Structure 1
Amino acid sequence: MLSSIQRNPSRRRRLERQLGDTETSYFLPSRKSGVNDMYLHLGFRAPSGLMRRRRVCFVWAFLRLKHPLLSSKVEMQDYDDIRFVYQVPDSAMDAYESADASLDYRSQSKEAMIDSYLNGPRILSNERPSYLIISGHPAKDCSPSASALGGFDLLLCAAHFLGDGMALHNFGNDFFTLLTSDWTDENLESMLSDEWYSWWGGKNGNRLPSHLEDRLALPPMADTKFHRIARRVDFENSQARLIGGHSFPRRNGNTRKTVVPTVCIDAERTKRTLKKCQAQSVSINAALFSIVNIAWAKTCDRNWEIPMMMYSALNLRPVLAANDGCDDSYWYLAIGFFNVVLPTFIPKSDHDIEKIFWRRARAAKEQTAQATKSPMLASRCLEMARKRGMQARRWAREDDEKERGTCRASPPPLRAKDVTRRPPCAALVGLSLLGNLDAIYNHAAFLKAEVHTLTTGSRQRAGGILLFGYTFAGKLWISLGYDEAGLDDKVEQFWANILTAMDTFLG
């Protein structure tokens, strides 16, 4: 029991809001097996006394108060009626106890912890959308003043409908800034009490962050019937220009088994790599699109005349309107999507391959700029959200009907002459390019800990594949998360070709 945090019972308040289309598109597929449930792993060394459960729980409870979606439940009445529900804590002690119920201490290796999260029974649920796990090997002395360093791993688990990668990493920075500060446990306890009282001691405002579609809202004049039709025509035209004729062969009928091979490039080589990209007027992100392109061209054995397409997430936070209800929370979902299409063909001779590599990296840079700087960005994101929300509701309804045995037969397929021939539009792989995470993690502020390793990803659907690229602790990290049971052996050759291309073009 906490000594100084006293209960201050109040009438239990319930805050709620509807999920937006983007949140819905992540929530509905997650219900059964946790598809897209995110994780952030951070490996670190710290004094064992710093990692006592009581201190960690104060920080965890404080951040859950500041970011209420972390402790909100989801209630689904219908496919069009899905709500976040936040039960306001009665007191700071109530907030602490709630956080403690979503905190777990283990003695697992990093690999075992991530594997159990990705491939084991789902940890999260509608009632518990976030969870914090600490694992490690503390020194023998775990008293508050213990200074001997232990090796620890943190795993933050969060449903994707709560937020995105930027939310994960801002959380990681705040967590270690508070945990490793000079504040005593008593200071953290007081901070938790003050935070609760400042928001809930006598205030009845709604602090749930708004969803993406509200923040992307267009001016009233742009919401006429004419403008809505124009937006949809522009969106459909932009989608029609996407051509992709490559995908990984699938294996059917196997239980999903996600693996995440990861390569960390040392700091000196990372500096050389970034300098090489800068000399070619591209970012490392643009270069990674080209790396994937060349790696696949070396892997595939047909259809070289058809372009390959990759998709990537688009951070929309810089273009969103402020949220009057909860300005200080970064836990909300704020991503869109864009595609990069590159030729698949490369000459058999390696004589000009480096020129081709950098030319395609510049093409990826141009396509990324076209997506991010388009004056139609907001409207296209709204249309994409609307489309993804509609698809998720339809697929969820069909899945539920199949499970209940009430699924109606599908309509007969259209005859060939009734189908307008369109070019193929398949994406080979997704790229999650997080950039320089050292711009988010203020390592100098982690006074008593060294955070040295970062891994991130999500539970995937069968046959899923996603490449991650980022710099952290001055090093470049590349990982490929994929379902090894759902994809054939060609994906292993593809990963080997990625590593070879990294060595060949980026040094």
Structure 2
Amino acid sequence: MPSDPEVAAHEPAPCSVDRRMGDTELSYYLPARSSGVNDMYLHIGFDAPGHLVQRPRVRLVWAILRMQHPLLSCSVAMRSYEDVRFVYTPPSSPQDALDDADNNLEYRPVTKDELIGDYLNGERTLSNQCLSYLIIADGTALLPTPPLTPRELNDVRDTDPSRNYDLLICAAHFLGDGMALHQFANEFFGLLASDKSLQELEILLTEEWNRSCRLSPGKVFTLPSCLEDNLVPEPSNLRRAIGRVDYQLSQRKHIGGQAFPRKSQQPRRTIVPTVSYDANRTKSVLKRCKEKGVSISAALFAICNIAWARVGNGPPDLPTMMYSALNLRPYFKISPPHNSYWFLAVGYFNVVLPNFIPRSIEPSSTFWHRARSAKAQSAQVAKNPMFVSRCRLMAEERGRRARKWAKEDDEKECGTYTPPAPAPTPAQPTKPPVPSSALLGLSLLGNLDGIYKHATFPAVKLHTLTTGSRQRSGGMLLFGYTFAGKLWVSLGYDENGFDKEVVETYWQNVLGAIDEFL
């Protein structure tokens, strides 16, 4: 505990602060209520001396960061489908902050696969009262929890061997996105593996509480704004009307007729097969992509496209559509009202590629042409002058759908659901809507070594990273990123929701195409 009893003394409980969720946050919150759909996780495997991973040290770091990023410590109050709120009550003392962190921290003697599997397929870890959680696992032994004395600590630092640990950071998706997770993990390791003693961390805890949580005259507690409030508003009604027409026209261009054959009536079970490529192979892949004028992200769109065409399971005359997320932080206002980076900042876009492989053209030529097409489509989305308007309107649409489906789900559970009346038959024949099925989603995180400052925490070696979320039945998402000098590709999917043979063939085709073209 803080070494200065006077500074650590309890203050009167500060008033809570709350704010209403935006449409994008609601679109993640409402489906998550029952089983935690979209609850994120970030797993990092690392080697470290045991004294750095003791509970007293970890909970101090966890407490400090939770105060810096208040959404992590919020609860949720749902007043209606339109009014769902984050509620934050700052800790009343440094001890209160430490207790709160300790209550949301767990040590488990399990393996990495058990850790991730339990999170994805077991009982939900998070809830309305617990929006973030930290788990540290040691698959070889129970971790020691009693704090070391300063003398014992000095002795241990010289003799304590490094061994493998697994960290799982759990956070509701309506709190933030993948970039927030990775930035947070970098800060966590930077503080955990710093040369600060326990006593110095206790002082830092108290300083952070005084700065961000202590109630004082004129003090106003704030929370990070929702995505929609961070986007520059439309300047006029005319501009808003133009934006709506543009959005409707852009949505009609999203044509996709490919989908994995699905199974139903089985409990969801998510698995995440993962492959990494060593540093030399990764350098070769990145060099080849650069020579061809594309990023590894664009190449992975083409890999997924070619892999599916080789499965030969869909109509060849309909294209393959894949979706991905785009970081919206560069489009936000210059001065956000809170300095935390824990908030949602993602937009969505589609890449559409043909679902056939020409026999008269070399497969490698087809592949690189489609990689360049994926790059061009991604750039067109990001550079379109209507991009911010489209993001705002998509958020509104996602919010409307989420509220509608949540209401239906609740009514079905209560036995009060009444299906809507069928739409009247139009007087004139209408053109059938174009198919808009997406084959799968791609989460392309880029070079994560640009976020993780490995050199700033030399006592800890990060060597493995896996990320994803709890999925709905029939969910599928491919991840691609570089981390610790390696290229990583993983496929998170519900193995009970799809035809097993088709998915396994597709995954082997993905890996085969990487070997063939990259």
Fold shared, TM-score > 0.5 on shorter chain: yes
The structure 1 residue matched to 2:462, chosen from 446, 451, 469, is: 451
Distance in 2 (alpha carbons) for counterparts of 1:323 and 1:29: 31
Report the CA distance between 1:415 and its aligned residue: 4.2
Preserved CA contact (<8 Å) 1:290 1:357: yes
Unaligned runs of 5+ in 1: none
Partner residue of 2:350? 339
The structure 2 residue matched to 1:96, chosen from 95, 98, 114, is: 98
Partner residue of 2:362? 352
1:52 aligned onto 2:67? no
Q: Show the 5 A alignment for 1:105-254.
A: 105-136=107-138, 137=140, 143=148, 144-145=153-154, 146=156, 147-201=160-214, 202=216, 204-218=219-233, 222=235, 224-254=236-266
Report the CA distance between 1:141 and its aligned residue: 8.3
Q: Does the residue aligned with 2:517 lie in a helix, a strand or coil?
A: helix
Report the CA distance between 1:477 and its aligned residue: 0.1
Report the CA distance between 1:373 and its aligned residue: 1.1
1:70 aligned onto 2:52? no
Distance in 2 (alpha carbons) for counterparts of 1:17 and 1:332: 13
Preserved CA contact (<8 Å) 1:139 1:148: no
1:403 aligned onto 2:413? yes
Q: Does the residue aligned with 1:78 lie in a helix, a strand or coil?
A: coil
1:8 aligned onto 2:10? yes
The structure 2 residue matched to 1:371, chosen from 381, 385, 390, is: 381
Distance in 1 (alpha carbons) for counterparts of 2:261 and 2:231: 37
The percentage of counterpart residues that share the same residue type is 53
Partner residue of 2:492? 481
Preserved CA contact (<8 Å) 2:2 2:199: no
- Counterpart amino acid of 1:32? S
Partner residue of 1:84? 86
Preserved CA contact (<8 Å) 1:206 1:325: no
1:472 aligned onto 2:470? no
Distance in 2 (alpha carbons) for counterparts of 1:449 and 1:414: 65
Preserved CA contact (<8 Å) 2:278 2:486: yes
Q: 1:24 to 1:355 in 2, by over 3 A?
A: same
Preserved CA contact (<8 Å) 2:3 2:199: no
Q: TM-score scaled to structure 2, two decimals?
A: 0.94
Distance in 1 (alpha carbons) for counterparts of 2:504 and 2:430: 37
Report the CA distance between 1:434 and its aligned residue: 0.1
Report the CA distance between 1:205 and its aligned residue: 1.6
Distance in 2 (alpha carbons) for counterparts of 1:31 and 1:323: 32
- Counterpart amino acid of 2:210? Y
- Counterpart amino acid of 2:131? P
Q: CA deviation digits over 1:141-168, x for unaligned, max 9?
A: 8843422212100000000000000000
Distance in 1 (alpha carbons) for counterparts of 2:323 and 2:161: 46
Q: 1:471 to 1:454 in 2, by over 3 A?
A: same
The structure 2 residue matched to 1:268, chosen from 244, 256, 280, is: 280
Q: TM-score scaled to structure 1, two decimals?
A: 0.96
Q: Does the residue aligned with 2:439 lie in a helix, a strand or coil?
A: strand
Distance in 2 (alpha carbons) for counterparts of 1:245 and 1:364: 17
Partner residue of 1:321? 333
Partner residue of 2:300? 288
Preserved CA contact (<8 Å) 1:209 1:323: no
Q: 1:140 to 1:312 in 2, by over 3 A?
A: closer
Report the CA distance between 1:375 and its aligned residue: 1.1
Preserved CA contact (<8 Å) 1:463 1:486: yes
- Counterpart amino acid of 1:368? S
Report the CA distance between 1:140 and its aligned residue: 8.9
Distance in 1 (alpha carbons) for counterparts of 2:242 and 2:336: 30
Count, aligned residues: 501
Partner residue of 1:18? 20
Q: Does the residue aligned with 1:344 lie in a helix, a strand or coil?
A: coil
RMSD: 1.6
Distance in 1 (alpha carbons) for counterparts of 2:238 and 2:358: 48
Q: CA deviation digits over 1:116-163, x for unaligned, max 9?
A: 000000000010010000111469988434222121000000000000
Distance in 2 (alpha carbons) for counterparts of 1:353 and 1:164: 36
Q: CA deviation digits over 1:393-433, x for unaligned, max 9?
A: 00000111111111112222554865431211111100000
